[in-house]
Amino acid sequence: MVGDLASRDVGMSAKLLALVNSPYFGFRGKVVDTSRAVVLLGADAMFALVVTLHAFSCFKAEGVPEFSLESLWNHSARTSCIAKNLAAFEGLGKEAIGQASMAALLHDLGKLLLCTDFADEYNRILEEVRETGRVVSEVEKKVLGTTHAQVGAYLLVLWGIPSEVVDIIANHHSPKALGNKVSQEMLLFWANLFEHHLTIVNPSCSQPELPMLRFEALGVVEKIEMWRDVASRTLEKYDG
């Protein structure tokens, strides 16, 4: 059904196939029609891709020069690969791994909406982040009274994304510690951090430090090296 719908829209279908053949999935030019893509990826993953493309075509963020749609896509796709592999590494089931991957692909869509509808405020937010080094979601909360995580979650409920996935997105900057239990929102929190940490946007800049105090508070310090390893191997393969 998702494949049929997508194939009726030529523009959407071409974009979808370009995505499916991108390094994100590792098929590299082998998928030539949307119904084959659904067979290979599953309906849920295809739905997440359709929603992502729809969001990218609705929200252009043109009033915020610092914001780049291409960077957001790359960050989302790479974070999604890391989240999927961390979930598999932690022994989560097939459904939970799919949810981790979908939530990571969609986790920052709220930024797209805020940059489009609140461009002046978002320019101020980015300026304050640059000047103070504070975390984006904290400054969003101060200026707008909400965060991209909450706004994105609200939008995705309206667009029919499953509530389990929406909950992960809503809490991706504020995961709760659950003793030794690994939660989906914690996996996305780490996947997001590792993606930022391991991606060198400008080679003349040093990598940002990982917030060890935050890891301590979440009770996962002993796992960091293993997870970092999983994330690093994931990105090597992605960039390969």
Q: Which residues are at the interface with Fe ion (CB under 5 A)?
A: 108, 192
Cβ 123 to Fe ion, closest distance in Å?
A: 18
Least distance from Fe ion to the Cβ atom of residue 170, Å: 11
- DSSP 8-state class, residue 201: S
- Specify the residue, 46 or 106, whose C-beta has the smaller distance to Fe ion: 106
Residue 147 CB, shortest distance to Fe ion, in Å, is: 8
The sign of the dihedral angle between the CA atoms of 136, 228, 26, 28 is positive
**Cα dihedral across residues 100, 74, 119, 133: positive or negative:** positive
Identify which of residues 19 and 83 has a Cβ nearer to Fe ion in the complex. Answer: 83
Q: What does the radius of gyration of the chain's CA atoms come to, in whole angstroms?
A: 18
Q: Which is nearer to Fe ion, 3 or 185 (CB)?
A: 185
Least distance to Fe ion from the beta carbon of 148, Å? Answer: 6
- 230 in Cβ contact with 82 (< 8 Å): yes
* Whether the Cβ atoms of residue 68 and residue 56 lie closer than 8 Å to each other: no
Q: Which CB, 85 or 192, lies closer to Fe ion?
A: 192
Triad 42, 11, 43: Cα angle to 5°: 10
